[in-house]
Structure 1
Amino acid sequence: MSGKDWHNAGGSVGLFHAVGITPEASSLEAALQGLEPEFTNIVHPEDILSTKRELTNAANEHVDLVLVGCPHASYTEMQSILELMNGKIVKEGTLFWLQTGQAEKDLARRSGLLKALEDLGIFIMQDSCINNFPMKNQGFKTIVTNSGKMAHYAPGTTEGNVEL
């Protein structure tokens, strides 16, 4: 298994801790809880750019599907999407799907965020993943996502091209 493979967060509970980012890993000492690391892998900005280039195969085409929330979008991410949309409605002929969990969707409903996103034409999918549905032959030629996981799987599951 290569060093990159260790960072996959797949499975029924996709999870890894990033020092200084996830709450359980506020510091290296907190993350390791007195143990020695099994390995260390430092990710440089060029590593991220290289991976993005590897996972992007879309030309400048019409966008058929925008997909956010793989893994599920947090409430904060949903707020950010609303801000980024800046009142713009999803363009006709383009679908915008946001995947999230029930708790986040319920919070968004109570706060009015859910309605605001739906009013812009964003479809909110709860407790599921687009990869669980038959996506071939749906006509998705170009998919835009913020998810490395989706960028990896989409060409095979949708036969579409991806912009990460």
Structure 2
Amino acid sequence: MSNYAGVIHHATSILCSNKGSLDLQQLHRKILQRVEITEDDFWYIVKKCSRFVVVRNRERTDEWGTDCVVVAKTSLRLCRNYTKDGCRDCQELHLCKYFVYGNCRYGKGRKQCKFSHDVFSEHNYRLLRDCTLHELHEDELFLLLLQNDPSLLPEVTPRSST
């Protein structure tokens, strides 16, 4: 897969700038605008690389591959314990979840947020680099985290039956 690192990064960036997923053929066309890659090599990358999930569109009945969507994924998560004494050299990002959501009320004004807003802190950058996500734009990274980290999903509250 290391031979395809540039293609993987470019595909991830394309997917994240298109709300996290894209039709397989559209993604291939967009990659071809910048990188020369055969259809077989492209198909191999999206099927074998852990950065992507290929989902078949159930509405169509075409052969496998022509009716698929590629979704970007990552194993990176936000650390829930980094402001506590319990977190030492963990493998999770140290960021404010509201900053990732784009609505931290402390990040813009008078009061300092107790959680980090530094995507490229020493700790975070090392993790991003290890996952080859360090070249993504902040908004692309946040979209990737939002669609992959279950802790960033809103809490589900049961409806009361009245």
Does TM, scored on the shorter chain, surpass 0.5? no
- When you count strand as a share of all residues, which structure comes out higher? 1
State the TM-score, normalizing by the size of structure 2. 0.30
Normalised by the length of structure 1, the TM-score is 0.30
